[in-house]
Structure 1
Amino acid sequence: MESLSHPVTPAIFEKGFPYPEFVAFTEKLVSENRTTGANQSEAYLDYTRMCLQRMHRWDKTAKVSLAMQELIESIQQPQRWLVITEAWCGDGSQSIPFLAKLADLNPKIQLRIILRDENPAVMDAYETNGARSIPKLVAFSGDLRCELFTWGPKPHYLMERYKEYRHDSKGLSYQEFLEEVYLWYARNKNKDLEVELFPLIQSSLIQ
């Protein structure tokens, strides 16, 4: 694959959290009644507590299909998966546990998590429609020289639903809209996420 210019250095990748350490870090934040980033409002503290609960729940309940498991296990060359997020990110807490389960299926995949606001140069390289939306997954070759694929910040259905809501809320408060989003995640059980990731991962195997 063609080498690409990007700001992710080995040092940036290695300083990232492995997923279990990110969960432990979030637990510590919650115990200290704080979160990541500059916004330490009660709302963001509540988001962080909810995110921790969701990660714990998905750790127990998320399932990977047999087809996806076989695809992941077929990866022969090392890959590094970098996730950009924050502890208060609701979409991150819904998707990152599943990404971690995928990475755990093959020792050739290294997954690390970095914080958006502590890595502005990285985040600015992976904006979505001009916005610093998270979470964002960026997959690289093992030597970080080649970018393999990106995904995020949320499944396509929700991307479209957010656009619809911003255009016309139809009387829904933002909190009511968020409840709709949370319910969708719970019912979807990462199926859309897996469907979207499958061809991306498959394309990374083409030599």
Structure 2
Amino acid sequence: MAQTIDLKYYWEQAVSYDSYKEIIEKQAQEGINNEEDKDIQKLAEYTRLNLSRIHRNDKTLVLEESVLSILNKLNKKVNILAISEGWCGDASQIVPVVQKLAESSSNIDFKLFFRDADEKLIQQYLTNGGKAIPIILFIDAETFEEMAHWGPRPQSCAPFLKKYKENPETYTHDDFAKDIQGFYNKDKGHEIANELTQIISKI
């Protein structure tokens, strides 16, 4: 896909990982206290749950030696930009992995852009017509040209989505969400890290 947006602009508007966590924590607190809008309260509860997942992943994620080896071979500056939101369960599992990759390479800078802050960006990266997140963009740090993008989930999660799309009455969204989170809890970020570093190895 030809690049039709100014990724430098979005990079400059994006926030650091620590700022992202601070912002969504504030969103959760404000939303939970909102007694007038039940939808906002529900999103806030999701965000609060995801914050606990993020904090747990920050403490427990360990990159494999094969991943670190690829990162050590990276010889150009890469900006990684995640399109995300705090209420997204997938983001709570994937974004901490990206942060670990960035922490492990002096050639990677990582920032996040909130999907709903400007939908022009996510419109460039629709998944089957939907605004699924997170989307991870790999951007040349000098030219701000997109080199690759990934998302919204690792390949092993595809069968769960296929099953849900084909049989939503017998395999409900709750079933789907439970199986997805079960995969993440068991995999501990390894497949995400492997898929992302395979992209890095080719740029």
Which deviates further from its counterpart, 76-85 or 187-196? Answer: 187-196
**1:7-45 deviation digits (Å, cap 9, x = unpaired):** 13323202211111111212222232359xx99433211
CA distance in 2, matches of 1:199, 1:99: 13
CA distance in 2, matches of 1:159, 1:119: 27
The residue that corresponds to 1:193 in the other structure is: 192
Shift of 1:87: 1.1
**Match runs of 1:1-207 below 5 Å:** 5-33=3-31, 40-169=39-168, 171-204=170-203
Question: Relative to structure 1, is the Cα distance of residues 52 and 8 closer, same or farther in structure 2, using a 3 angstrom cutoff?
Answer: farther
Q: Structure 1 regions of 5+ residues with no counterpart?
A: none
**1:145-174 deviation digits (Å, cap 9, x = unpaired):** 432111100111212311111102472332
Q: Is the 8 A contact 1:9 1:144 kept in 2?
A: no
Q: Structure 2 regions of 5+ residues with no counterpart?
A: none
TM-score scaled to structure 2, two decimals? Answer: 0.90
CA distance in 1, matches of 2:143, 2:131: 22
**1:56-102 deviation digits (Å, cap 9, x = unpaired):** 00000111111111211221211111100111011000100010000
CA distance in 2, matches of 1:161, 1:34: 30
CA distance in 2, matches of 1:19, 1:145: 20
CA distance in 2, matches of 1:9, 1:39: 35
CA distance in 1, matches of 2:117, 2:143: 20
Q: Is the 8 A contact 1:79 1:109 kept in 2?
A: yes
Shift of 1:107: 2.1
CA distance in 1, matches of 2:38, 2:99: 27
Q: Is the 8 A contact 2:11 2:111 kept in 1?
A: yes
Deviant stretches of 4+, over 4 Å? none
TM-score scaled to structure 1, two decimals? Answer: 0.88
CA distance in 1, matches of 2:32, 2:137: 27
What is the aligned-residue RMSD (CA, Å)?
2.2
Higher helix share: 2
Q: Is the 8 A contact 1:155 1:193 kept in 2?
A: yes
Q: Is the 8 A contact 1:14 1:112 kept in 2?
A: no
CA distance in 1, matches of 2:81, 2:143: 10
CA distance in 2, matches of 1:79, 1:60: 25
- How many correspondences in the alignment? 200
Question: Relative to structure 1, is the Cα distance of residues 90 and 39 closer, same or farther in structure 2, using a 3 angstrom cutoff?
Answer: farther
Question: Relative to structure 1, is the Cα distance of residues 168 and 132 closer, same or farther in structure 2, using a 3 angstrom cutoff?
Answer: same
Q: Is the 8 A contact 2:80 2:138 kept in 1?
A: yes
CA distance in 2, matches of 1:186, 1:72: 24
Q: Is the 8 A contact 1:8 1:144 kept in 2?
A: no
CA distance in 1, matches of 2:60, 2:72: 21
Equivalent residue letter for 2:72: E
**1:172-192 deviation digits (Å, cap 9, x = unpaired):** 332233122211110011122
Q: Is the 8 A contact 1:155 1:192 kept in 2?
A: yes
